[in-house]
Amino acid sequence: MVGYLGGPSTPLSSVVLEGEHSLLVQSYAPREMMSAVVNADGFGVGWYVPDDEEPAVYRSNGSLWSDRSFAGIAPRIRARTVFAAVRSATPGLPVEESGVPPFSSGPHMFMHNGAIPDFRQTAMRPLRERLSDEAYSRLLGVSDSETIFAGLLDLLREDPVDLVGAVRGTIRLVPEVCGGLGIEATLNLAVTDGTTMTFTRYSTDGPGTSLYVLEDAETFPGAVVVASERLDEHPRWRKVPDRHLLSVRRGSGATLSPL
């Protein structure tokens, strides 16, 4: 997954398709994946347009490298905030659009890089039983990612602007449920409201999935970019430490705090 928060707007193609190790390359030749070989089970891109607090989202259950329509429009759409992801479906979950990030609701977008093993047989029911009626009624599929987002949205309804608090609450709740079931959870989460972004690198067992941050580099001047794998070989990419939260606010850069 990749998140871009800029001062200047940038074409979607610069975040998703361009660069020596772009998200496009990561869809068929990832370097640091721990549980799969390719990300061919869908992709999605979300962005914000002026004078509209709700994001536009383009999602597909096909591979990024085969989507000519997106390749045609991506250089022509510019945005100051972009979320994008490619998917390798968790074993046991269907390959369908309902499971493809980024997910969106109101002004918020969400991505999850990770998995809860055997989700439908283990954590799915206990996590969904904790949801409000409103959150439950809006579920479209059966993925772990969509379920985690629904729980996060319940926390955001209490305070819509406290992304960090909602993410911290989610990182407490999901491992609590999974720990009670004796299963692990890999929870690299990302959420944005268009002006801020919050990411986590977290796993209940062993090292978390990779996550990097780049600030104000020549390739993305005046912007902060967060990515599962470095998009290029620029020396200013920093690895986010295990069990840390990364918060990004436009104009203020990125800050790290432990989880």
What is the chain's mean pLDDT, rounded? 95
CATH number of the domain that residue 126 is part of: 3.60.20.10
pLDDT tens column, 26-71? 999 999 987 778 998 999 999 999 999 999 999 999 999 999 999 9
Q: What angle do CA 214, 106, 196 make, to 5 degrees?
A: 25
| Mean pLDDT along residues 78-100 | 91
pLDDT at 76: 98
* Total number of domains constituting the chain: 1
Cα gap 141→202, rounded to integer Å: 24
Cα gap 183→161, rounded to integer Å: 32
Report in angstroms the alpha-carbon separations of 169 from 104, 165, 223: 19, 6, 28
CB-based contact 102:192 (threshold 8 Å)? no
Q: Which domain covers residue 9, as residue numbers?
A: 2-258
pLDDT tens column, 142-182? 999 999 999 999 999 988 889 999 999 999 999 999 999 99
